[in-house]
Structure 1
C-alpha cells in the first residue's frame, strides 16, 4: 500500500483541528460544570424557601412550641419535600413522609457531606437534591438553641432537574458539534486562502521551467519574500551560469580558430625542418590547452576566476606576431612596436592573451600593410592602442561592434564574438575600450586600464 505524501497543508490543518476540538471541549466542560452548579443552586434555593414547612412539621411533632401563628397556615402535606434533623449519623427527627426503614439511612447517607446544595444518589438508584445546614451559635455566642451542632437535611426529588440537565447536555453537545463543524469549515477556507500564495509560487516555478516567464513576478506575503528573493537570485545565477557556458564555448571556438589556422600555416610551410615544425606545433597545442582551461575556468567561476596581476606585454605581442604572421603571410604585414621593453599590463596572462589576441587578429585581418602597437602610461592608467591601416570602422558602428553577433566588417557578417569578449574582459578589470580613427588612417582600438 502506497502511503500518501506528507503535506504541510494537511499537517497544519490536522493540528489546528485537534487544538480546536480540545479547546472547545474543555470550554464546553467548564461551561457545563458552571451551569450544573448554578442549576443545583437554583433548585437548592427552592429547598431553602421550604424552611417554614420543615419548622411547621417540627412544631406539629412537639419539638418546637414558640412559633408564630403564621406557621400554622403552612401546608405540611407537600410530598415533594422531605426533611430530617440529624446528630452525626443518628436521625433525631424525620418528616412524616420518610418511611421508618429509611430513617436510619437518611442521616447516615448525608453524614460526610458538607453544608450546602448537593445532588445525591439514593440506595434505590434515584437522585435527590439535598440542602444540608449545621445549626451553630452565631458570632461565637451561645443563644438558647436546643439543637446546636445538629444538621438539618431537606431533600426533594431531582427528576425534573435530571430532565433539564439531560436537555442541557443535549443542547451543549449539539451546539459544540455545530461549532466544531463550522470552525473546521472556516479553518479549511482560511487555509485554502492562506496557502494560495504557495500554489501561485508552484505555478510560477512551472512556468519558469517551461520557459513561459523568466522570474517570479507575483506579489507574495512578507513571510515568503525571503524565499522568492532567494529563488529569483538562484534563477538569475542559473541563467547567468548557462549564458557564461554558452559564451565560453563560443569564445573558445573563436580563439581556437586562430590557433588551428596557425597550425595549418606551420604545417604548410616548406622551409622548415621536421623538428622545428613539431616544436612550433607543440607551442600552438600548448596555447590551445591553456585556452581550454582558461575558458572553462571563466565559465565555472565567472569574474571570480579572473585574477589581477602584472603581465609583461612584449612576450605576448611577440608570440601573437609569430602566430599571426603565419596565418596572414600572404599580406606581408609590418608590425611596429611603440612601448618600453619592460612594459606590463595589470591583467592575468590568459586574459591579456585573449584580449590582445582578438584585437591583433582583427588588425591583421583588415590591415593593408601595417599594424602598430603602442602604450601610454600615466600615474593612474595605462593605455594600449592597436592600429591598422585598413578601411577603419564607420562611426555609426563604433559602439555596436562590441556587442555579440556584430562584426566590424559589416559586409561579411559572422559570429561577432572577438570584440565582445574584449569588452567583457576590460569591463571586469574596471577599464574602458573604444575604437577611433588611427594615425595611419585605419581603425585604432584603444584600451585604458587602471594601474591599481
Structure 2
C-alpha cells in the first residue's frame, strides 16, 4: 500500500488518464475509419451509377461502353474492381480483376444494397453490391476497392496519436507533480517547523495560510501549551510536597536527638531510617520532576550553566583548591529542561570534585545526532568490576565520602528519561571518566 499522498494522487491520475486516453484512442480510430470508408463508399456509389449508365441493351444484347467508365478499372490489379451480371447470368469482370473475382452473397433482390468489408488474398476490400431494374432486365453490379493503404495509414496515424498521447500524459503528470508539490508545500513547511520545534529553535508552530492545514497547526500548538501547563502544575505539586515533607522530617530528627540521651541504639536505628527516608523521598521527587521530560522548543546553553555550577563547586570544595579545565564547544545546548541539566551536571561534577586530587575536566560537543559530555577527575578511579555496583541504588564505595549515594542513580534516571546513555571509563588524568550521551532529537536512537 502506497502511504504517500503524492504517490496515490499520481497513480490515480495515471490510471484515469490512461483510461480516458484509451477510450478516446478507440473512438478516434473508429471515427476516422468510418469517415474514410464512408468516403470510399460514396465514390463507389458514384461509380456504380456511372457503370449502370454505361450498360446498354443494343440489338437485343447487353453491352458495356468502357469509354464511359474510369480507366482505373482497366488496369490489372489496380485496387479498383467491378463485376456485373444481367438477369442472374454469367458474371462480367473488369480487366483490373485479372483472374480474380469479388466475393458476393446470394439472395439480393432488386433495389437492395449491401456494403461490407471483406478479406481477399489477405487484403481488406470494401465491397459495394447493388441490384437495379433497367429496362426489362435485372442488373447486379458489384464494385470493390482495396482499402489496405487506408488501413495502413490509419494504423500509422494511431501510432502517432499514441506517441503524442504518451508525451501529453507525461507533460500532464509533470504538471500534476508540480501542482501537488505546491499544494503540499504547506505540509512540508509544517514538518520542517515541527523539526525546528523539536530542535528548540521555536516554541510554537507558526501559522499557515492553507485552510486545510491551519486547524492541524492550531491543534498541535494547543497540545504543546497543554503539556506546558500540565508540567507546570505537576512540578508545582512536587515542590509543594517537598516543602511540606521537610517539617515532619525535621521534627522526627529533633525527637531522635532527644531519644539519643535515653536509648542511643534505638535513636541510631531511627536516624538511619530517617536518612534513608530522606534519600528515597529526594529520589522519588526527582524522578517525578523529570517524568515530564523536555517540552518541545526548550534548549539550554551548556557553557553558561557549567560556569554557574563551577562557581558553586569552588566555594563548596574551596579547601581542595581544585583546578577546572572546561572545553565546551560554542552553541552546545542541552535539549531539555534547565533543572534537569543542573541536576545532571551538578551530581556528576560534585562527585568528580569529591574524589579529585587537583583537577576536574569538563568537555562537551553537540553533533547532528547527539550531545556528548565528558567529566573527568584525577582521583583514585574505580575498578571496572565495581563500576556497576556504583550505579546501583544507594550504593557507595567509600562511606567516608559525604553524600547519601543517590547521585549517580538520579543521573541514571534523568539519562533514561531523555533516552540517552552514559558509562564509566578510565581517564587519562588517572581517575574516573564519565561519558554521557543524550540524543539531540527524541526520535534518534543512539548506537
Larger Rg: 1
Q: What TM-score does the superposition give when structure 1 sets the normalisation length?
A: 0.48
